[in-house]
Amino acid sequence: MPATDSRPAHYTGLIDRYRERLPVTDATPVISLNEGDTPLIRLENIPRELGTDVDIFVKYEGLNPTASFKDRGMTMAVSKAAEEGARAIVCASTGNTSASAAAYAARAGMTAFVLIPEGKIPMGKLAQAIAHGAVVLQIKGNFDDGMRLVKEVAGEAPVAIVNSINPFRLQGQKTAAFEIVEALGRAPDYHCIPVGNAGNISGYWIGYSEACGHNTASCTLCHGQCPYLDNPLTDTRPVMVGYQADGAAPFMRDEPVLEPETLATAIRIGNPQSWDLAHAAVNESGGWFDEVSDDELLATQAMLARQEGVFCEPASAVSLCGALRDVRTGRIPAGSLVTCTLTGHGLKDPDIAIRGQRAVQTVNADLQSVKAAILAHI
Ligand code: F0G
């Protein structure tokens, strides 16, 4: 902000916060909705009930402006697109990228074109894209078909791709790792994360690597010019653990899944674009991939909401679901410090959250009835 600007100072988003760690210059117009700076919440009740001394934190990315982690990458992708003079952006999406692209395009005065799989987007995400004025193209195919089409159409029309194959997306997303290291005063021992198109796990690995002054083959932009090299925040990196839904788990099958299926629609992806980067993150860190069932991930989503007061979407619960299983089996050893990314807010998909839950009770509007209903639960 120029010195002559007398408006009150406030948090203005992650590009301003991490400017010297990001590939931006004074010529880059900052398109921001004050994303980032999300809470890192220590779980209290779940570990106690589990009887473990593993210290588990969740990074609640559902509290970004469009209620998912995508805003971190989108502020970078759209700012760089604006710098390059783009008038329109395009993405394929399972819903969150499209919501974020739509919002940041609105902020930038651009047009967003979003390709979504027909009938597989929760209402909250679709509402966001529509509300922000995106051109919504519902394709008769899945996310992987949309991704292929986006790459093809970008060669034929003046539109900038803002999916995570755009390296600026990962640069924005790496800042979540910086925030975690700053909040804890050290890197966690394990970082657990849901994996769909595999951009986020790759972004975190870049961030953790930079935070401890390591260069990593994963970093497609710094190429040995790691911005924290001379001034590291920490001297360790976490073991990276990526979890997938078992009906959409190409990293477990070691090949693309042609017809991915899961109720966690955000990660209903069979052909992840950041395949090599995600493998590098897991291999370089000594981590692993694993899978969880839809029943398991929904049970974890409900448990987190009921026992800790944190409401995330089904795909987000995959990280904690896998982490808790690995804590129980000892694969994540006693005494560890664990962080789990909760990628999106539960309100994105309210239908799934109330599925099979105790029904709402209807009572007469008189004291007697309300009192009786309360006492029945005490
Ligand atoms: N969790 C949520 C809530 C997501 O929306 C996504 C991806 C992921 C996890 C997986 O992250 O793709 O970086 O491995 N959603 C994309 C979208 C694909 O279009 O919104 P990833």
Q: Tens digits of per-residue pLDDT, 291-346? A: 999 999 999 999 999 999 999 999 999 999 999 999 999 999 999 999 999 999 99
Mean pLDDT of the chain: 94
Closest CA to 127 of 90, 156, 99, 104: 99
Say how many Å lie between the CA of residue 111 and the centre of ligand 1: 22
pTM: 0.95
Mutate to test the pocket of ligand 1, among 68, 244, 313 (most ligand atoms within 8 A of CB): 68
Sheet with 88-92: list strands edge to edge: 135-139, 111-117, 88-92, 160-161
**C-beta of 163 in contact with ligand 1 (< 6 A):** no
* Closest atom of ligand 1 to CA, residue 198: 14
* Residues above pLDDT 90, as percent of the chain: 87
Say how many Å lie between the CA of residue 303 and the centre of ligand 1: 22
User: What pLDDT, on the 0 to 100 scale, is given for residue 118?
Assistant: 96
Lowest mean pLDDT among 24-28, 190-194, 228-232: 228-232
**Atom 6 of ligand 1: nearest residue by CA position:** 266
**Atom 15 of ligand 1: nearest residue by CA position:** 266
Q: Tens digits of per-residue pLDDT, 349-372? A: 998 988 867 778 899 999 999 999
Q: Tens digits of per-residue pLDDT, 103-150? A: 999 999 999 999 999 999 999 999 999 999 999 999 999 999 999 999
**C-beta of 100 in contact with ligand 1 (< 6 A):** no
pLDDT over threshold 60, residue 221: no
User: What pLDDT, on the 0 to 100 scale, is given for residue 157?
Assistant: 95
**C-beta of 262 in contact with ligand 1 (< 6 A):** no
Say how many Å lie between the CA of residue 266 and the centre of ligand 1: 5
User: What pLDDT, on the 0 to 100 scale, is given for residue 24?
Assistant: 95
**C-beta of 121 in contact with ligand 1 (< 6 A):** no
Closest CA to 316 of 357, 265, 272, 278: 265
